[in-house]
Structure 1
Amino acid sequence: MTPGTLRRRLHHGDVDGKKREHVEADALDFLSEPLLGSAREVASLKDDYESDEDTLDEKKRKEKLHWAHLFSQLITHWAQFLANIVIGSGTIIGRLLPLPLINSFGSEKKNRPVFVSPLQEERLRLLQQRMGVPFDGSRLDHQDALKQLWRLAYPSRELPSLKSEVWKEMGWQGSDPSTDFRGGGYISLENLIFFAQKYPDSFQNLLHKKEGRRSDWEYPFAVAGVNVSFMLVQMLDLQSGPPTSIVAANFARLLAEDEMAFDNLFCVAFMMLDAQWLAKRASYMEFNEVLKSTRTQLERELSLDDVYSVRDLPAYNLLRR
C-alpha cells in the first residue's frame, strides 16, 4: 500500500462497546442436585420412609430426617471446600490437577467465585485500581504519558501539541487523543506505552503496518489498542471482584507469576488481533468481527492446563523485541 493511500478512522463506539451481562450465582448452585444418589434412588428412599410410618413414631422419623439433612449439608460444604482448593491455581493442588478435573465441578457459565491466594487477591486489587482511573487530559502526568507514547512511536519526529491533526497518524480519531479513552481509560495508554517499551519491534511493525498484505481501509492503531484493553477487561471479568470463570481464574494464576501479566497479555492480544486481521484479509468494516475472534482464540489459550505465565501462551511467539 502506498503512503498516499487513504485510511479511514475507526470510531471507538462502534467496536465491541456492549458490556457482557454478568449474573451472580450462589456459590453452591452447582451442588444443588443430590450428591449421594440419582432421582430414582431419592424417590425410593422417600417410599421407604412412608412405608415405615406405621412402625416408627413421629419423633424417630423426624430425627432420622434431621440427621440425613445434616449429613447432606456436610457433604455439600466439603465438596465446595475441595472445589475451591482445586480451582485455586495458586495452590500446589491447583497446579497438579488438570483443567478437565476442575471443570468437572460445574460449568463456568454459572459464574461461581473461585479461590484466590492472598498474592493473587492483592495483585487483582491493584489491577482493578488501575482500571478505575479515567484518562484526564487536564492532568500533567497523563499529558506526560501521552507525550511519552509519541516519543516511543516516533523517536526522530518533533513532539506535536496535545491537540494537533498530526495525532491522527498514530491512529487516533481526531486532533485530541484524550477523547478516545472513554472505554479503555488510562490503563489503555499504559498498555500502549508498555508495548512500545517491552516489545519495540512488534510495536513498530503494528504501528506502521509493516507486515502482510494490507487493506486499503486499515484499522487505526491507537484506537485499536484502546479496544484491545477494553476487550481484555471484559473477557477477564475484572470489574466483578474475584474471578468467576476458568479463564479469569487462570489469569489470576498468571498474575501470581508476573505482576505485569495484564500488560504482557495486552501485547499478545494485539499481535493476535493483527494476525487474525491478515489471515481474514479484513478491512475496516470487519474490525468488530476480528476483535471477537481474537477474544475467542485468547480464551482457548488461557484455558490450556499447562499455561502458568504469559510466555506459555502459544501466541506469545508472535512477539518480537
Structure 2
Amino acid sequence: MASATLRRRLHHGDVDGRRYEKYDTTDTEDLNEPLLGSSNSSHRDEYNEDRTLEEIWDEERKRQQVHWTLIFSQLIAQWAQWIANIVFGSGSLVGRFLSLSAFGQIGSGGKLLPPTLSPLQEERLKNLQRRLEVPFDGSQSEHQDALRQLWRLAYPHRELPPLKSELWKEMGWQGTDPSTDFRGGGFISLENLIFFAKAYPKSFQRLLHKQDGTRAEWEYPFAVAGINISFMLAQMLDLQSGKPSSVAGIRFMEFLEDDETAFDNLYCVAFQMMDAQWLAKRASYMDFNDVLKSTRTQLERELALEDISSIRDLPAFNLLRRS
C-alpha cells in the first residue's frame, strides 16, 4: 500500500506576520526512495548476533545522544522563531535595537535619533506636513470640487449628485454630507482617495465595490475606511513630530528622497493590505479597528525588511492592480 506524505500549499494571505497554510495528502508511489530508510529485519538480527554487549550498549548510547540532540535542535528552532516574532513585532524594543545599523542611532532615551535629511527630503517632508495640517472645509470651493472629482472617478457613468445626498452613502460615507466624516483625517485623506482612484483604478474599483473574496454581511464603509488609513499612516510614520524617529518613519524618508508621492503610494498599499487582512480574518463591521491595527503591524514589518528601497519593493505592493 502506498505511503502518503504531506505537501505544503502556501497562500499569499499574510495576517499579523503569520502565513496561513493548508495541507493535503498525495500518493508517493512514484517516489524513488522511501521517506525513511528501509531496513531488513533478518539482516539486522544477524548483525546483532556478531556484536558484544558493550558494542550494543555503545550504539544505544549514541542513538540516545542523536535523539536528545534532535530534541534540543527543535527547541532552539522554536526559540529562534519566538525571538524573530519579538524582533519584527510592532513596537518591539529588541526590534528597535536590532534596526540600529540599518535605520539610525539610538539616543540616551532609548529612541532612534532622527536621521540627517537631505535638502530634498527636508523640502518634501515639510510639504507633506503642510498637507497634513489642512482640515477639510466643506465651505471651500476647492474642497467641494475635490469631492466632485472623487465621485466622477468612482462612478464615471453616473450623474453627479448634490454635495448633500443619500447617494454619497453608497461610497461609504456615513451620512448624506461627506464633509462631516473627515474629522482628524483632514483634506489629505480626500487627496489620498483621489490619488488611489487615478493611480490604481482597478484596485480602487474592486475595493469600492467589494469585489474580492467572500464578503461580510456588514462591510466596512469604503470612504470612511480610507480616512482612517490616512490618519493611521501619519501616526505610524511619525510625520507630525518634526523629523520621524520611528523605524517605519525613517525608512519612509528614504522613499521620499526618490518619490514625492511616496505617502500617497503607501496609502494605496495600506488600503489594499487592509482589505486583504479583512478577508483573511473574515471580519465584520465591528472588527474594523482590530483589522486596522493588524494592518499597521504588518506594514511596519514590511517597512523593516532589508533590501527595500521604494514603495514598489514592499511585498504588499504586488496586491495592487493598475488597470
TM-score (norm 2): 0.67
Shift of residue 158, structure 1, vs aligned partner: 0.5
Aligned partner of 1:82 in structure 2 is none
- 1:165 — aligned with what? 166
2:228 alignment counterpart: 227
* Counterpart for residue 149 of structure 1: 150
Amino acid paired to 1:304:
L
The letter for the 2-side match of 1:309 is: S
Q: Could you give the per-residue CA deviations for residues 99-148 of structure 1, whole angstroms, max 9, x where no partner exists?
A: 56246843896253221111111100000011111111011111000000
1:150: Cα distance to partner? 0.2
Secondary structure of the structure 1 residue equivalent to 2:184: coil
Distance 1:158 1:103 in 2: 49
Partner of 1:261: 262
Contact residue 109 and residue 245 of structure 1 kept, 8 A: no
Q: Distance in 2 between matches of 1:126 and 1:109?
A: 29
Partner Cα distance (1:104, 1:133) in 2? 30
**Greater mean deviation of Cα atoms: 292-301 or 100-109:** 100-109
Query: Contact 2:105–2:113 at 8 Å: present in 1 too?
Result: no
> Which residue is 2:313 aligned to?
312
C-alpha displacement of 1:299: 0.5
Mapping 1:175-190, distance limit 5 Å: 175-190=176-191
Question: Contact 1:128 / 1:239 at 8 angstroms: preserved in 2?
Answer: yes
Listed one character per residue, the Cα deviations across residues 27-54 of structure 1 (whole Å, up to 9, x for unaligned) are: xxxxxxxxxxxxxxxxxxxxxxxxxxxx
Match of 1:101 in 2: 101
Q: 1:200 is matched by which residue type in structure 2?
A: P
Conserved? CA contact 2:114–2:250, under 8 Å: no
Structure 2: distance between partners of 1:99 and 1:195: 31
Q: Secondary structure at the match of 1:242?
A: coil
Q: Is the Cα–Cα contact under 8 Å of residues 261 and 310 in structure 1 kept in the other structure?
A: yes
Given that 1:99 and 1:305 are in contact with CA atoms closer than 8 Å, whether structure 2 keeps it comes out as no
Same amino acid, percent of matched pairs: 70
Alignment-derived partner of residue 49 in structure 2 = none
1:11 counterpart residue number: none
CA gap 1:105/1:255 in 2 versus in 1, 3 angstroms: closer
CA distance in 2 between partners of 1:307 and 1:204 (Å): 28
Aligned twin of 2:304: 303
Q: CA RMSD in A?
A: 1.6
Q: Which amino acid aligns with 1:207?
A: L
Q: Structure 1 residue 127 and structure 2 residue 138: aligned? A: no
SS of aligned partner of 1:185: helix
Match of 1:136 in 2: 137
* 1:107-118 matches, cutoff 5 A: 110-118=111-119
CA deviation map 1:76-100 (0-9, x unaligned): xxxxxxxxxxxxxxxxxxxxxx956
CA contact (8 A) 1:99 1:304 kept: no
Change in Cα spacing, 1:103 to 1:133, as seen in structure 2 (3 Å) is closer
Can you list the C-alpha shifts for 1:142-188, whole angstroms capped at 9, x where unaligned?
Answer: 10000000000001111000000110000001000001111110000
Q: Distance in 2 between matches of 1:248 and 1:278?
A: 27
Relative to structure 1, is the Cα distance of residues 208 and 109 closer, same or farther in structure 2, using a 3 angstrom cutoff?
farther
Which residue of structure 2 aligns with residue 236 of structure 1?
A: 237
Distance 1:208 1:234 in 2: 28
Structure 1: runs of 5+ lacking an equivalent:
1-97
Contact 2:105 2:112 in 1 (8 A): no
Unaligned stretches of 5+ residues in structure 2: 1-97
More strand by share: 2
Deviations 1:180-215 (A, max 9, x none): 111110000000000000000000000000010000
TM-score by length of 1: 0.68
* Structure 1 runs, 4 residues or longer, greater than 6 Å off: none
> Structure 1 253/161 Cα, relative in aligned 2: closer, same or farther at 3 Å?
same
Which structure's CA Rg is the greater one? 2
**For 1:172, what is the secondary structure of its paired residue?**
coil
CA distance in 1, matches of 2:103, 2:152: 46
Given that residues 103 and 251 in structure 2 are in contact (C-alpha distance below 8 angstroms), is that contact kept between their aligned partners in structure 1? no
State how far apart, in whole Å, the 1-side matches of 2:267 and 2:124 are: 17
* Alpha-carbon displacement from aligned partner over 1:245-277 (angstroms, at most 9, x marks no partner): 221111000011100000000000000000000
* Cα-to-partner distance string for 1:54-74 (whole Å, 9 max, x where unaligned): xxxxxxxxxxxxxxxxxxxxx
- Residues 205-229 of structure 1, C-alpha deviation per residue, up to 9 Å, x if partnerless? 0000001000001000000000000
Structure 1 letter corresponding to 2:215: R
CA contact (8 A) 1:165 1:175 kept: yes
CA shift at 1:304, angstroms?
1.4
Indicate if the aligned counterparts of 2:165 and 2:176 stay in contact, CA closer than 8 A. yes
Cα separation, 2, equivalents of 1:166 and 1:190: 20
Name the amino acid aligned to 1:129.
R
Between Structure 1 and Structure 2, how many residues are aligned? 224
* Residues 257, 308 of structure 1: 8 Å contact kept: no
